[in-house]
A and B are shown apart, each in its own frame.
Chain A
Protein backbone atom coordinates (compact mmCIF):
# COMPACT_ATOMS: atom_id res chain seq x y z
CA UNK A 1 0.00 0.00 0.00
CA UNK A 2 2.95 2.34 0.70
CA UNK A 3 4.45 2.02 -2.80
CA UNK A 4 1.02 2.16 -4.38
CA UNK A 5 0.28 5.42 -2.56
CA UNK A 6 3.59 6.90 -3.75
CA UNK A 7 2.79 6.00 -7.39
CA UNK A 8 -0.83 7.22 -7.36
CA UNK A 9 -0.06 10.53 -5.68
CA UNK A 10 3.12 11.12 -7.70
CA UNK A 11 1.34 10.58 -11.03
CA UNK A 12 -1.28 13.19 -10.29
CA UNK A 13 0.92 15.71 -8.46
CA UNK A 14 3.59 15.56 -11.19
CA UNK A 15 1.20 16.79 -13.86
CA UNK A 16 -0.01 19.74 -11.78
CA UNK A 17 3.54 20.50 -10.54
CA UNK A 18 5.00 20.72 -14.05
CA UNK A 19 2.29 23.18 -15.14
CA UNK A 20 2.65 25.29 -11.99
CA UNK A 21 6.46 25.34 -12.40
CA UNK A 22 6.30 26.53 -16.01
CA UNK A 23 3.77 29.23 -15.06
CA UNK A 24 5.86 30.26 -12.02
CA UNK A 25 8.94 30.64 -14.22
CA UNK A 26 6.95 32.63 -16.81
CA UNK A 27 5.52 34.84 -14.03
CA UNK A 28 8.96 35.42 -12.55
CA UNK A 29 10.34 36.37 -15.97
CA UNK A 30 7.42 38.81 -16.41
CA UNK A 31 7.95 40.14 -12.82
CA UNK A 32 4.39 39.15 -11.89
CA UNK A 33 5.00 37.86 -8.37
CA UNK A 34 3.34 34.77 -6.91
CA UNK A 35 0.01 36.27 -5.74
CA UNK A 36 -1.89 34.43 -8.49
CA UNK A 37 -0.70 31.07 -7.11
CA UNK A 38 -1.57 31.90 -3.51
CA UNK A 39 -5.04 32.86 -4.68
CA UNK A 40 -5.43 29.63 -6.71
CA UNK A 41 -4.47 27.23 -3.89
CA UNK A 42 -7.40 27.85 -1.47
CA UNK A 43 -9.93 28.06 -4.34
CA UNK A 44 -8.61 24.81 -5.83
CA UNK A 45 -8.69 23.09 -2.41
CA UNK A 46 -12.37 24.02 -1.94
CA UNK A 47 -13.23 22.84 -5.47
CA UNK A 48 -11.34 19.54 -5.00
CA UNK A 49 -13.38 18.85 -1.85
CA UNK A 50 -16.61 19.81 -3.64
CA UNK A 51 -15.76 17.64 -6.66
CA UNK A 52 -15.00 14.63 -4.46
CA UNK A 53 -18.19 15.20 -2.44
CA UNK A 54 -20.31 15.36 -5.62
CA UNK A 55 -18.50 12.59 -7.53
CA UNK A 56 -21.39 10.11 -7.32
CA UNK A 57 -23.79 12.68 -8.81
CA UNK A 58 -21.22 13.79 -11.38
CA UNK A 59 -20.52 10.18 -12.47
CA UNK A 60 -24.21 9.44 -13.10
CA UNK A 61 -24.86 12.74 -14.88
CA UNK A 62 -25.18 12.86 -18.68
CA UNK A 63 -26.03 9.18 -18.95
CA UNK A 64 -22.88 8.11 -17.08
CA UNK A 65 -20.55 10.47 -18.95
CA UNK A 66 -20.42 13.22 -16.30
CA UNK A 67 -16.98 12.41 -14.84
CA UNK A 68 -15.31 12.36 -18.26
CA UNK A 69 -17.13 15.44 -19.57
CA UNK A 70 -16.17 17.53 -16.49
CA UNK A 71 -12.56 16.32 -16.53
CA UNK A 72 -12.25 16.90 -20.28
CA UNK A 73 -13.78 20.38 -19.87
CA UNK A 74 -11.24 21.22 -17.15
CA UNK A 75 -8.37 20.09 -19.39
CA UNK A 76 -9.61 21.89 -22.50
CA UNK A 77 -10.24 24.89 -20.22
CA UNK A 78 -6.58 24.86 -19.13
CA UNK A 79 -5.50 24.79 -22.79
CA UNK A 80 -7.80 27.68 -23.75
CA UNK A 81 -6.55 29.72 -20.78
CA UNK A 82 -2.93 29.03 -21.73
CA UNK A 83 -3.42 30.57 -25.21
CA UNK A 84 -3.85 34.20 -24.01
CA UNK A 85 -1.13 33.56 -21.41
CA UNK A 86 1.21 32.59 -24.28
CA UNK A 87 0.26 35.77 -26.20
CA UNK A 88 0.71 38.04 -23.16
CA UNK A 89 3.98 36.36 -22.23
CA UNK A 90 5.55 37.55 -25.51
CA UNK A 91 5.73 41.23 -24.59
CA UNK A 92 6.50 43.38 -21.52
CA UNK A 93 3.54 43.35 -19.16
CA UNK A 94 1.74 46.63 -18.30
CA UNK A 95 -0.37 46.98 -15.15
CA UNK A 96 -3.67 46.16 -16.90
CA UNK A 97 -2.19 43.11 -18.62
CA UNK A 98 -0.56 42.12 -15.35
CA UNK A 99 -3.97 41.78 -13.68
CA UNK A 100 -5.40 39.87 -16.63
CA UNK A 101 -2.42 37.53 -16.79
CA UNK A 102 -2.61 36.87 -13.03
CA UNK A 103 -6.33 36.09 -13.26
CA UNK A 104 -5.81 33.70 -16.20
CA UNK A 105 -3.00 31.91 -14.36
CA UNK A 106 -5.12 31.59 -11.22
CA UNK A 107 -7.98 29.95 -13.14
CA UNK A 108 -5.66 27.70 -15.20
CA UNK A 109 -3.87 26.39 -12.10
CA UNK A 110 -7.17 25.95 -10.27
CA UNK A 111 -8.57 23.84 -13.14
CA UNK A 112 -5.38 21.74 -13.31
CA UNK A 113 -5.31 21.10 -9.56
CA UNK A 114 -8.99 20.12 -9.46
CA UNK A 115 -8.48 17.74 -12.40
CA UNK A 116 -5.37 16.09 -10.98
CA UNK A 117 -5.87 16.21 -7.22
CA UNK A 118 -9.53 15.22 -6.81
CA UNK A 119 -8.56 11.60 -7.46
CA UNK A 120 -5.76 11.80 -4.86
CA UNK A 121 -8.23 13.14 -2.30
CA UNK A 122 -10.71 10.32 -3.05
CA UNK A 123 -7.97 7.69 -2.71
CA UNK A 124 -6.40 9.07 0.48
CA UNK A 125 -9.75 9.72 2.20
CA UNK A 126 -10.97 6.18 1.51
CA UNK A 127 -7.86 4.15 2.25
CA UNK A 128 -6.36 6.23 5.08
CA UNK A 129 -9.64 5.63 6.91
CA UNK A 130 -8.82 1.91 7.06
CA UNK A 131 -6.85 1.22 10.22
CA UNK A 132 -4.51 -1.33 8.60
CA UNK A 133 -3.50 0.99 5.75
CA UNK A 134 -3.55 4.44 7.37
CA UNK A 135 0.17 4.91 8.09
CA UNK A 136 1.28 3.44 4.75
CA UNK A 137 -1.17 5.64 2.83
CA UNK A 138 -0.17 8.83 4.65
CA UNK A 139 3.57 8.12 4.40
CA UNK A 140 3.35 7.06 0.74
CA UNK A 141 1.24 10.07 -0.17
CA UNK A 142 3.64 12.44 1.57
CA UNK A 143 6.56 10.90 -0.33
CA UNK A 144 4.61 11.06 -3.63
CA UNK A 145 3.87 14.76 -3.04
CA UNK A 146 7.53 15.33 -2.10
CA UNK A 147 8.88 13.70 -5.29
CA UNK A 148 6.27 15.43 -7.49
CA UNK A 149 6.98 18.86 -6.02
CA UNK A 150 10.76 18.23 -6.27
CA UNK A 151 10.37 17.41 -9.97
CA UNK A 152 8.42 20.66 -10.35
CA UNK A 153 11.18 22.61 -8.56
CA UNK A 154 13.76 21.04 -10.93
CA UNK A 155 11.70 22.08 -13.97
CA UNK A 156 11.40 25.61 -12.56
CA UNK A 157 15.13 25.80 -11.82
CA UNK A 158 16.01 24.49 -15.30
CA UNK A 159 13.75 27.07 -16.98
CA UNK A 160 15.11 29.92 -14.84
CA UNK A 161 18.72 28.84 -15.40
CA UNK A 162 18.40 29.55 -19.12
CA UNK A 163 19.49 32.97 -20.44
CA UNK A 164 16.59 35.50 -20.07
CA UNK A 165 15.33 35.35 -23.66
CA UNK A 166 15.56 31.57 -23.92
CA UNK A 167 13.97 31.17 -20.49
CA UNK A 168 10.80 32.94 -21.61
CA UNK A 169 10.67 30.98 -24.86
CA UNK A 170 11.35 27.75 -22.95
CA UNK A 171 8.40 28.48 -20.62
CA UNK A 172 6.15 29.23 -23.57
CA UNK A 173 7.19 26.11 -25.47
CA UNK A 174 6.62 23.98 -22.38
CA UNK A 175 3.19 25.53 -21.74
CA UNK A 176 2.19 24.95 -25.38
CA UNK A 177 3.21 21.27 -25.07
CA UNK A 178 1.42 20.84 -21.72
CA UNK A 179 -1.72 22.46 -23.19
CA UNK A 180 -1.70 20.23 -26.26
CA UNK A 181 -1.16 17.21 -24.00
CA UNK A 182 -4.24 18.23 -22.01
CA UNK A 183 -6.33 18.38 -25.20
CA UNK A 184 -5.10 14.90 -26.09
CA UNK A 185 -6.07 13.54 -22.67
CA UNK A 186 -9.49 15.21 -22.97
CA UNK A 187 -9.96 13.50 -26.35
CA UNK A 188 -9.25 10.14 -24.74
CA UNK A 189 -11.80 10.80 -22.00
CA UNK A 190 -14.51 11.70 -24.51
CA UNK A 191 -13.72 8.54 -26.50
CA UNK A 192 -14.18 6.57 -23.28
CA UNK A 193 -17.84 7.67 -23.04
CA UNK A 194 -18.47 7.42 -26.78
CA UNK A 195 -18.79 11.17 -27.28
CA UNK A 196 -15.93 10.89 -29.79
CA UNK A 197 -15.16 7.85 -31.96
CA UNK A 198 -12.35 5.57 -30.80
CA UNK A 199 -9.85 4.53 -33.45
CA UNK A 200 -7.04 2.06 -33.90
CA UNK A 201 -3.67 3.26 -32.56
CA UNK A 202 -1.44 5.07 -35.06
CA UNK A 203 1.66 3.55 -33.44
CA UNK A 204 2.71 1.48 -30.43
CA UNK A 205 5.83 2.80 -28.71
CA UNK A 206 5.25 0.92 -25.43
CA UNK A 207 8.15 -1.54 -26.05
CA UNK A 208 10.58 1.45 -26.15
CA UNK A 209 8.98 3.72 -23.57
CA UNK A 210 6.30 2.39 -21.26
CA UNK A 211 3.72 4.87 -19.98
CA UNK A 212 4.16 3.22 -16.57
CA UNK A 213 7.88 4.12 -16.28
CA UNK A 214 8.94 7.34 -14.49
CA UNK A 215 10.17 8.80 -17.80
CA UNK A 216 6.87 7.79 -19.42
CA UNK A 217 4.95 9.52 -16.62
CA UNK A 218 7.14 12.63 -16.87
CA UNK A 219 6.69 12.83 -20.65
CA UNK A 220 2.95 12.25 -20.14
CA UNK A 221 2.90 15.28 -17.81
CA UNK A 222 5.01 17.48 -20.12
CA UNK A 223 4.13 16.30 -23.64
CA UNK A 224 0.95 14.29 -23.10
CA UNK A 225 2.91 11.18 -24.12
CA UNK A 226 0.71 8.22 -25.12
CA UNK A 227 2.25 4.93 -26.23
CA UNK A 228 -0.77 3.98 -28.37
CA UNK A 229 -2.58 7.14 -29.51
CA UNK A 230 -5.50 7.06 -31.94
CA UNK A 231 -5.77 9.14 -35.13
CA UNK A 232 -8.12 11.68 -33.53
CA UNK A 233 -5.86 12.10 -30.49
CA UNK A 234 -2.80 12.74 -32.69
CA UNK A 235 -4.74 15.10 -34.98
CA UNK A 236 -6.14 17.18 -32.11
CA UNK A 237 -2.74 17.21 -30.38
CA UNK A 238 -1.00 18.53 -33.48
CA UNK A 239 -3.88 20.97 -34.16
CA UNK A 240 -3.63 22.31 -30.59
CA UNK A 241 0.13 22.74 -30.94
CA UNK A 242 -0.42 24.58 -34.21
CA UNK A 243 -2.96 26.95 -32.62
CA UNK A 244 -0.56 27.54 -29.69
CA UNK A 245 2.24 28.29 -32.17
CA UNK A 246 -0.15 30.73 -33.91
CA UNK A 247 -0.81 32.42 -30.54
CA UNK A 248 2.94 32.77 -29.94
CA UNK A 249 3.46 34.19 -33.44
CA UNK A 250 0.64 36.70 -32.89
CA UNK A 251 2.08 37.74 -29.53
CA UNK A 252 5.52 38.15 -31.08
CA UNK A 253 4.04 40.25 -33.94
CA UNK A 254 2.25 42.49 -31.42
CA UNK A 255 5.50 42.98 -29.56
CA UNK A 256 7.33 44.00 -32.73
CA UNK A 257 4.45 46.36 -33.68
CA UNK A 258 4.55 48.09 -30.28
CA UNK A 259 8.33 48.22 -30.25
CA UNK A 260 8.62 49.96 -33.66
CA UNK A 261 7.32 53.48 -32.71
CA UNK A 262 9.92 53.68 -29.97
Chain B
Protein backbone atom coordinates (compact mmCIF):
# COMPACT_ATOMS: atom_id res chain seq x y z
CA UNK B 1 0.00 0.00 0.00
CA UNK B 2 2.81 2.40 0.95
CA UNK B 3 4.51 1.54 -2.33
CA UNK B 4 1.30 2.43 -4.16
CA UNK B 5 1.08 5.83 -2.45
CA UNK B 6 4.78 6.46 -3.13
CA UNK B 7 4.21 5.66 -6.80
CA UNK B 8 1.13 7.87 -6.89
CA UNK B 9 3.02 10.74 -5.22
CA UNK B 10 5.93 10.38 -7.67
CA UNK B 11 3.58 10.30 -10.69
CA UNK B 12 1.68 13.33 -9.41
CA UNK B 13 4.90 15.28 -8.78
CA UNK B 14 6.21 14.39 -12.22
CA UNK B 15 2.86 15.38 -13.74
CA UNK B 16 2.88 18.77 -11.97
CA UNK B 17 6.49 19.40 -13.00
CA UNK B 18 5.83 18.53 -16.64
CA UNK B 19 2.65 20.60 -16.65
CA UNK B 20 4.45 23.59 -15.09
CA UNK B 21 7.27 23.43 -17.66
CA UNK B 22 4.82 22.90 -20.52
CA UNK B 23 2.72 25.87 -19.47
CA UNK B 24 5.62 28.34 -19.29
CA UNK B 25 6.19 30.02 -22.68
CA UNK B 26 9.85 30.20 -23.72
CA UNK B 27 11.38 33.25 -25.46
CA UNK B 28 14.89 33.28 -26.88
CA UNK B 29 17.32 36.16 -26.97
CA UNK B 30 20.87 36.44 -28.30
CA UNK B 31 23.82 38.60 -27.39
CA UNK B 32 25.85 39.22 -30.55
CA UNK B 33 28.62 41.85 -30.90
CA UNK B 34 27.50 43.28 -27.54
CA UNK B 35 23.94 43.81 -28.83
CA UNK B 36 20.72 42.09 -27.83
CA UNK B 37 19.01 40.38 -30.75
CA UNK B 38 16.10 41.06 -30.94
CA UNK B 39 16.13 44.34 -29.05
CA UNK B 40 12.46 44.02 -28.26
CA UNK B 41 10.65 41.01 -26.89
CA UNK B 42 6.86 41.07 -26.82
CA UNK B 43 5.39 38.82 -24.14
CA UNK B 44 1.82 38.26 -22.94
CA UNK B 45 0.54 40.09 -19.82
CA UNK B 46 0.12 38.37 -16.45
CA UNK B 47 2.05 35.32 -17.66
CA UNK B 48 5.31 33.91 -16.35
CA UNK B 49 7.78 33.35 -19.19
CA UNK B 50 11.21 31.77 -19.48
CA UNK B 51 13.91 33.76 -21.26
CA UNK B 52 16.75 31.73 -22.72
CA UNK B 53 19.63 34.12 -23.38
CA UNK B 54 22.43 32.88 -25.65
CA UNK B 55 25.70 34.79 -25.43
CA UNK B 56 27.31 34.35 -28.88
CA UNK B 57 30.22 36.67 -28.01
CA UNK B 58 33.51 35.39 -26.65
CA UNK B 59 33.34 37.78 -23.68
CA UNK B 60 30.96 37.43 -20.71
CA UNK B 61 27.90 39.65 -20.27
CA UNK B 62 25.57 40.35 -17.40
CA UNK B 63 21.87 40.49 -18.19
CA UNK B 64 20.53 43.21 -15.92
CA UNK B 65 17.20 44.95 -15.43
CA UNK B 66 16.22 47.21 -12.55
CA UNK B 67 12.59 47.18 -13.71
CA UNK B 68 12.43 43.38 -13.85
CA UNK B 69 14.65 42.89 -10.76
CA UNK B 70 16.91 40.54 -12.67
CA UNK B 71 20.69 40.09 -12.94
CA UNK B 72 22.68 37.14 -14.27
CA UNK B 73 26.22 36.68 -15.57
CA UNK B 74 26.33 34.77 -18.87
CA UNK B 75 29.76 33.55 -19.91
CA UNK B 76 30.93 33.89 -23.52
CA UNK B 77 29.59 31.11 -25.75
CA UNK B 78 27.04 29.91 -23.21
CA UNK B 79 23.37 30.34 -22.35
CA UNK B 80 21.32 31.18 -19.27
CA UNK B 81 17.70 30.77 -18.21
CA UNK B 82 15.86 33.68 -16.60
CA UNK B 83 12.22 33.57 -15.54
CA UNK B 84 10.25 36.83 -15.63
CA UNK B 85 6.69 37.76 -14.80
CA UNK B 86 3.78 37.61 -14.43
CA UNK B 87 3.97 41.27 -15.50
CA UNK B 88 1.43 44.04 -15.98
CA UNK B 89 1.30 45.63 -19.47
CA UNK B 90 4.17 48.08 -19.98
CA UNK B 91 7.77 48.46 -21.13
CA UNK B 92 10.57 46.92 -19.05
CA UNK B 93 14.09 47.88 -20.19
CA UNK B 94 17.07 45.56 -19.74
CA UNK B 95 20.76 45.98 -20.56
CA UNK B 96 24.11 44.23 -20.59
CA UNK B 97 25.97 45.56 -17.57
CA UNK B 98 29.38 44.87 -19.10
CA UNK B 99 28.51 46.78 -22.32
CA UNK B 100 25.66 49.12 -21.35
CA UNK B 101 26.20 51.60 -24.19
CA UNK B 102 25.38 49.04 -26.87
CA UNK B 103 23.61 46.14 -25.18
CA UNK B 104 20.15 47.61 -24.58
CA UNK B 105 16.76 45.97 -24.95
CA UNK B 106 13.15 46.04 -23.82
CA UNK B 107 10.52 43.55 -22.76
CA UNK B 108 7.17 44.81 -24.00
CA UNK B 109 4.20 43.33 -22.23
CA UNK B 110 0.98 43.68 -24.23
Contacts and interface: CB of A to CB of B under 8 A. Distances in A.
Given A8-B98, A191-B69, A59 B78 contact: yes
B105 interface: no
B83 A193 contact: yes
Contacts of B71: 192
B66 A212 contact: yes
B48 A198 contact: yes
Interface string A31-74: 00000000000000000000000011001000111011000000
A55 to B, nearest CB: 6
Interface stretch (A107-115, A119-127, A148-156): A119-127
Contacts of B75: 55-56, 59, 122
Interface in A193-215: 193-194, 198, 200, 206, 210-212
A14 B90 CA distance: 32
Contacts of B48: 194, 198
Contacts, number: 74
Interface size class of A (residues with CB under 8 A): 20 to 34
A126 B85 CA distance: 31
B60 to A, nearest CB: 5
Contacts of B97: 8
A126 B59 contact: yes
Contact of B66 (A56, A198, A206): A206
B72 interface: yes
A64 B80 contact: yes
Contacts of B81: 63-65, 193
B23 to A, nearest CB: 12
B73 interface: yes
B88 interface: yes
A167 interface: no
A235 interface: no
A56 to B, nearest CB: 6
A123 B75 CA distance: 10
Given A59-B80, A193-B83, A123 B60 contact: yes
B86 A198 contact: yes
30 contacts: A4-B98, A4-B99, A4-B101, A55-B75, A56-B75, A59-B73, A59-B75, A65-B81, A122-B75, A123-B60, A123-B98, A126-B59, A126-B76, A126-B98, A188-B69, A188-B70, A193-B83, A194-B24, A194-B48, A194-B83, A198-B83, A198-B84, A198-B86, A200-B86, A206-B66, A206-B67, A210-B66, A211-B66, A226-B69, A230-B69
A227 B66 CA distance: 8
Interface in B54-105: 59-60, 62, 66-67, 69-76, 78, 80-86, 88, 97-101
A130 interface: yes
B73 A4 contact: no
A231 to B, nearest CB: 13
A199 B86 CA distance: 7
Given A126-B59, A212-B66, A227-B66, 13 more contacts: A4-B101, A8-B97, A123-B98, A126-B60, A126-B98, A127-B59, A192-B70, A192-B82, A194-B50, A206-B66, A228-B66, A228-B69, A229-B69
